[in-house]
Amino acid sequence: MIANAPLVFALPKGRILDEVMPLLRQVGIEPEPAFDDPRSRQLRFKTNHRDLDLIRVRSFDATTFVAFGAAHLGIAGRDVLMEFDYPEVYAPLDLNVGHCRLAVAEPVEMTKDDDPARWSHVRVATKYPNVTRAHFAARGVQAECIKLNGAMELAPSLGLCRRIVDLVSTGATLKANGLVEVETIAEVTSRLVVNRAALKMRPVQVNAWIDRFQEVLDAA
């Protein structure tokens, strides 16, 4: 880490960005114009703060950039933080955006004869194999996970497996695919994340950003 280089802030692209940008602007961070240009292929952006650059990455990768110190700060869903569980990532603030939950779901027709308390082994399609295995292991159930990166809801009807673990917000995606939620694993919101080494090596700068986010959240 170069002491006087700009801090790098990892933003998740995709759906969360729409909720995060108003918050970022309230905090006083304004990216250079290319950030809002849909034709731009640029991935790193200067901001109105000389000592802060933004990078735009996949939502699953924001915490990885921060964990390895490639980014100093970032924003990540609690789902992603739980899945990776990086010791180098400190997640001090709940940003109160990206509300959803991580849940187990199965076809509606299975539920009338199915008792989750009697499961001993489950086969699950999910983007979250680590969280899923830990959730089931805690009550002695072995989970065999099939890793998918999206469209998990298709897996039961196509015979890949009978159950899925995925994010649920309105429940519309489950309903449209004939599935129902049978267990909630965790409530999810997005959090401000910080690399622990950056916090030690550049405490004034990093803490100033944490404090600024806290002020905006307190005022909301």
Ligand X SMILES: O=P(O)(O)OC[C@H]1O[C@H](OP(=O)(O)OP(=O)(O)O)[C@H](O)[C@@H]1O
Chain residues binding ligand X by CB under 6 A are 15, 150-151, 166-173
- Single-letter code of the amino acid located at 154: L
16 is in the binding site of which of ligand ATP, ligand X, none (Cβ under 5 to 8 A by kind)? Answer: ligand ATP
Q: How far is the CB of 153 from ligand X (least distance, A)?
A: 6
129 binds, among ligand X, ligand ATP, none (CB under 5 to 8 A by kind): none
User: According to the 3-state scheme, what is the secondary structure of 173-209?
Assistant: HHHHCCEEEEEEEEEECEEEEEEHHHHHHCHHHHHHH
Task: Using alpha carbons, list the distances in angstroms from residue 92 to 191, 196, 199, 206, 215.
Answer: 7, 11, 11, 12, 13
Residue 50 DSSP SS3 = coil
Residue 192 or 205 with smaller CB distance to ligand ATP? 192
User: Is 80 among the residues that bind ligand ATP (CB under 6 A)?
Assistant: yes
Calpha distance 90→58 (Å, rounded):
19
Q: How far is the CB of 196 from ligand X (least distance, A)?
A: 29
Q: Which does 188 bind (CB under 5 to 8 A by kind): ligand X, ligand ATP, none?
A: ligand ATP
The token pair that represents 103 in the structure block: 């849940």
Residue nearer to ligand ATP on the CB measure, 77 or 156: 77
Decide which of ligand X, ligand ATP, none touches 166; Cβ closer than 5 to 8 Å per partner kind.
ligand X
Q: In whole angstroms, give the CA distance from residue 158 to residue 119.
A: 22
Q: Does 100 bind ligand ATP (CB under 6 A)?
A: yes
**Binding-site size, ligand ATP (CB under 6 A):** 17
Angstrom distances, CA of residue 162 to CA of 108, 117, 127, 193, 211: 11, 16, 15, 35, 46
The binding site for ligand ATP (CB under 6 A) comprises 12, 14-16, 58-60, 77, 79-80, 98-100, 167, 169, 188, 190
